[in-house]
């Protein structure tokens, strides 16, 4: 299929970027990233600078393939990362617009690559369990209800791709932060540091320059792992409780 790509090109964070158009022929069985690979091969053969973009596992696990495709993070399909998006979901002659995440907390490095180390710093602020447990305990030594374990795993499914931030008109990182808090706080091992964790991670999130959550819900709609908004409500309750006491 013949397509027109309008790709955001930007040399670095200090240089003004712009869209550039390319004509490309793609196979419907290609993934979106494979189609970008084909474009880059053509650009290299023409002695031109290839499009810079992030990728790693290409299996929907790492969250690196951060692109806004036709105005939607990771493209038109729900519950799908860019690397899992295939060209069969586009039609002959389509014009596809590709741009990076747009958020203050994610400055552009080059073209479609953004700096997402702000997420790393939020995790470093409290997204861990520091209790010394010694040797690995027997799997049945700590009884955990199935519902608690399942809900913790649901929150832990977050891959930190940043689609929630890109989708939010405020550039908020609440869904990411809340998911990382929830998957630890829902387990007995994580409850010990609950209050300190939520305060530190929220403080770091604010420090990184992300916007305020206004419960629009775009983050939930665009999350490739379909993290639910209830983790944000849980984060708010935990934060208020850590500030004002268990009565909240």
Residue 79 confidence (pLDDT) above 90: yes
Using CB atoms within 10 Å of the CB of residue 54, give its burial: 0 to 12 exposed, 13 to 18 middle, 19+ buried.
Answer: buried
Is the predicted pLDDT of residue 130 greater than 90, yes or no? no
Six token digits for residue 184: 């630890």
Place of tokens 């929220």: 202
Share of the chain above pLDDT 70, in %: 96
Lowest mean pLDDT among 54-58, 105-109, 133-137, 214-218: 133-137
Residues of the chain with CATH 1.10.1060.10: 116-244
DSSP single-letter state for residue 229: T
The pTM (predicted TM-score) of the whole model is 0.92
Q: Which of 163, 155, 5 is nearest to 81 (CA)?
A: 163
The enclosing H or E element of 149 equals helix 146-156
**DSSP secondary structure, 77-128, as one string:** STT--GGG-BGGGS-TT-EEEEE----TTS-EEETTEE--HHHHHHHHHH-S
Q: Which of 8, 43, 50 is nearest to 23 (CA)?
A: 43
Which pLDDT score is estimated for 90?
Answer: 97
Q: How many CB atoms lie within 10 A of CB 2?
A: 10
Q: What is the pLDDT of residues 176-229, one digit of tens each?
A: 999 999 999 999 888 889 999 999 999 999 999 999 999 999 999 999 999 999
CA end-to-end distance (rounded Å), the chain: 58
Strand, coil or helix: 157: coil
Distance CA 182, CA 158 (A): 11
Q: Are strands 2-9 and 95-99 parallel, antiparallel or unpaired?
A: parallel
Q: Is residue 74 within 8 Å of 222, Cβ to Cβ?
A: yes
The CA distances from residue 19 to 4, 6, 51, 75, 82, in Å, are: 12, 6, 12, 18, 19
What CATH number is given for 116-244 in this structure?
Answer: 1.10.1060.10
Where are the CATH 3.10.20.30 domain residues in the chain? 2-109
d(CA 239, CA 15): 39
Average pLDDT over residues 148-163: 95
Q: Which helix (H) or strand (E) holds 237?
A: helix 230-244
pLDDT digits (tens, 9 = 90+) for 30-52: 999 999 999 999 999 999 999 99
Cα–Cα distance measured from residue 245 to residue 176, given in angstroms and rounded to the nearest whole number? 25
Instruction: Please report the pLDDT score of residue 247 as a whole number.
Output: 46
Q: Which of 29, 46, 26 is nearest to 37 (CA)?
A: 26
Architecture of domain 2-109: Roll (3.10)
């Amino acid at each position: 299929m013949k397509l027109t790509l309008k790709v955001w090109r930007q040399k670095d964070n200090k240089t003004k970027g712009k869209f550039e158009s390319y004509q490309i022929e793609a196979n419907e069985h290609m993934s979106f990233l494979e189609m970008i690979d084909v474009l880059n091969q053509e650009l290299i053969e023409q002695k031109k600078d290839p499009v810079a973009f992030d990728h790693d596992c290409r299996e929907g696990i790492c969250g690196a393939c951060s692109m806004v495709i036709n105005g939607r993070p990771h493209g038109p399909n729900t519950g799908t990362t860019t690397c899992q998006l295939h060209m069969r979901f586009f039609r002959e002659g389509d014009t596809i617009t590709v741009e990076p995440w747009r958020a203050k907390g994610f400055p552009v490095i080059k073209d479609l690559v953004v700096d997402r180390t702000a997420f790393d710093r939020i995790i470093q602020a409290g997204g861990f369990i520091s209790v010394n447990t010694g040797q690995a305990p027997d799997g049945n030594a700590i009884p955990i209800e199935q519902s608690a374990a399942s809900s913790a795993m649901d929150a832990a499914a977050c891959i930190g791709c940043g689609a929630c931030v890109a989708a939010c008109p405020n550039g908020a990182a609440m869904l990411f932060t809340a998911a990382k808090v929830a998957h630890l706080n829902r387990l007995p091992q994580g409850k010990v540091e609950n209050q300190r964790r939520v305060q530190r991670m929220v403080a770091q999130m604010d420090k990184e320059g992300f916007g305020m959550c206004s419960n629009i819900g775009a983050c939930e709609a665009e999350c490739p792992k379909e993290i639910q908004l209830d983790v944000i409500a849980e984060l708010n309750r935990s934060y208020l409780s850590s500030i004002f006491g268990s009565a909240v």
